[in-house]
Amino acid sequence: MTPVILTAGSFTLALVVGLIASCIGGALGGVATGGAALGNELAAMMGSFYGPLGAVAGLVLGLVVLALIG
C-alpha cells in the first residue's frame, strides 16, 4: 500500500472543496428545512452561513489526522 503524501497544496485544495461542498449542502438543507417559513432565499443564505460551522472543524481535524497517519 502506498503512503498518502499530503502537501500544502493538496491540504488547501481539500479544505476549499470541503468548504464549498458544506456551503452548498447548508444552503440546500436550509431551503428544505425553513424554506416555507422564511422564504427560500433567506433560508438558503442562512444555511450557507451556518452549514460550514461544523464542517470546517471536521475537515481540519480529518486532514490533520490524515497528515499524521501518512
Is 31 contained in some domain?
yes
Residue 35 structural domain? 23-65
Is 4 contained in some domain?
no
Between 70 and 15, the higher pLDDT residue? 15
Count of structural domains within the chain: 1
Q: What is the mean pLDDT of the chain?
A: 89
The whole-number pLDDT of residue 30 equals 92
Check pLDDT > 70 for residue 1.
no
- Which residues, 6 or more positions from 3, have their beta carbon under 8 angstroms from its beta carbon? 70
Spatial distance between the Cα atoms of 61 and 63, rounded to a whole number of angstroms:
6
The whole-number pLDDT of residue 69 equals 84
Spatial distance between the Cα atoms of 31 and 48, rounded to a whole number of angstroms:
10
Mean pLDDT across the stretch 18-34?
93
Report yes or no: 46 and 32 within 8 Å, Cβ to Cβ: no
